[in-house]
Amino acid sequence: MKNSEIDRTHIPFIIMIAVIILLPIIIPSAYIISVMVFVAVYGVLALGMGILIGHAGLFSLAHPVWFGLGAYISGILAARGWVSPGIGIIVSAFFVALISYIIGAPILRLRGYYLACATFALLLIAQIAGGQLTNITGGHEGLLGIPPLSLGGFVFQTDLHYYFLSWALCIGCFWFCSNLIHSRVGRAIRSFHDSEIASKSMGVNIPKYKLQLFILTSVMASLAGSIFCFYLCFTVPSFFGFHLLVELLMMIVIGGIGSIQGPLIGSFVILWLRELIHIYFGKIFPVMTGEVDSIFFGILIIIVLIFMPRGLAGWVEQSFNLGRRTYAYFKGPGA
């Protein structure tokens, strides 16, 4: 790879890291820092689900399940004093990897709508179980008494601490997934997204790659769920249900299906747009419920699908290419 290509590959990471570091310095607002923590956490979720749907063609709807398992397992272990919070995050990630392997091995034999229905059923089962297992999860009243996260003797107590932790996870997952998609494994994954028959004829072990990607994205969701749990210091089953699934799908569609950076853009846009809706329309509507949010987000999805079918990431890329061609035109061949 040429140096110029390497530089273009690293530029998004450099810009992202610089913005994340400078944001608390430029805008020292506790409210903005808090919202950006959720942007990072949901960004990890949307990134994993976007890779499954947009790159591998696996329409899995079980991502909120892994998110909730990571939150509950690490939260229960820490709340009951069985292990430290840091160890709890690791244990929950290994447990989620094991469960996703056991479930993914048979369920990934399904395709298309059948896979979507099976994983959606898994989501419903997990949410009902979370509400009924009162002695373990706290039921609908929630799991309380979760201590602050501590790693290596350092206790995460402020929003700023969780801000850097969540964005470290988000940037790390983004970097890893970007390299994965542009590697030999990524080319194999994209090949069976287009045609499993052609991919199999070329010697690609489709079940192996499907299962590995399924487990990888589930572990990412588990880590995000653990941070989410320790940040709020409580958790309830409603956090990981159908409403979260709809939000993730909106982030992927609006950000751009098939784009690595699209889910992160979608996470940023959806969460901040929701905050703006609650701020400016809270005076008009007596109660700002999820149904009111759905009206605005439904309109936004229709607009994006009509005018920007590749999502905001595709629109940004097209705008950048148009600007580059315009600059090259006015610069002239002899300049």
Taking only the tens place, the pLDDT of each residue in 7-55 is: 455 666 788 788 888 888 888 888 999 999 999 999 999 999 999 998 8
Q: How far apart are CA 10 and CA 17, in angstroms?
A: 11
End position of a domain, from candidates 218, 239, 260: 239
Look at residue 154 and tell me if it is in a domain: yes
> Do residues 275 and 299 share a domain?
yes
Average pLDDT along the chain? 84
> Do residues 325 and 265 share a domain?
yes
Look at residue 70 and tell me if it is in a domain: yes
> Do residues 122 and 151 share a domain?
yes
> Do residues 143 and 131 share a domain?
yes
> Do residues 169 and 218 share a domain?
yes
Domain residues for the domain of 311 are 241-335
Q: Give bridge partners of residue 154 from the DSSP assignment.
A: 151
> Do residues 60 and 173 share a domain?
yes
User: pLDDT category, 6, cuts 50, 70, 90?
Assistant: very low
Give the chain's domain count.
2
> Do residues 190 and 305 share a domain?
no
Which of residues 287 and 102 earns the better pLDDT score? 102
User: Which of the given ranges, 33-47, 267-281, 307-321, has the highest pLDDT on average?
Assistant: 33-47
End position of a domain, from candidates 209, 239, 269: 239
Most distant CA pair in the chain: distance in Å?
76
> Do residues 161 and 44 share a domain?
yes
| pTM of the full structure | 0.88
Question: Is 232:41 a contact under the CB 8 Å cutoff?
Answer: no
> Do residues 161 and 220 share a domain?
yes
Q: How far apart are CA 149 and CA 296, in angstroms?
A: 36
> Do residues 331 and 303 share a domain?
yes
> Do residues 167 and 204 share a domain?
yes
> Do residues 250 and 137 share a domain?
no
Quick one: residue 58, left, alpha or beta (phi over 0 = left, psi -120 to 50 = alpha)? Answer: beta
Question: Is 230:149 a contact under the CB 8 Å cutoff?
Answer: yes
Look at residue 11 and tell me if it is in a domain: no
Reduced 3-state DSSP string for the chain: CCHHHHHHHHHHHHHHHHHHHHHHHHCCCHHHHHHHHHHHHHHHHHHHHHHHHHHCCCCCCCHHHHHHHHHHHHHHHHHCCCCCHHHHHHHHHHHHHHHHHHHHHHHCCCCHHHHHHHHHHHHHHHHHHHHHCHHHHCHHHCECCCCCCEECCEECCCHHHHHHHHHHHHHHHHHHHHHHHCCHHHHHHHHHHHCHHHHHHCCCCHHHHHHHHHHHHHHHHHHHHHHHHHHHCCECHHHHCHHHHHHHHHHHHHHCCCCCCHHHHHHHHHHHHHHHHHHHHCCCCCCCCHHHHHHHHHHHHHHHHHHCCCHHHHHHHHHHHHHHHHHHHHHCCCC
Question: Is 88:69 a contact under the CB 8 Å cutoff?
Answer: no
Q: How far apart are CA 281 and CA 294, in angstroms?
A: 13
Residue 150 backbone phi and psi in degrees, to 5: -135, 135
Question: Which whole number is the average pLDDT over 265-278?
Answer: 86
Q: How far apart are CA 233 and CA 178, in angstroms?
A: 32
The per-residue pLDDT for 5 is 43
Look at residue 50 and tell me if it is in a domain: yes
Q: What percent of the chain is predicted at pLDDT more than 90?
A: 33
User: Which tokens hold the place of 104?
Assistant: 């993914």
End position of a domain, from candidates 205, 223, 239: 239
Look at residue 3 and tell me if it is in a domain: no
Look at residue 228 and tell me if it is in a domain: yes
Look at residue 317 and tell me if it is in a domain: yes
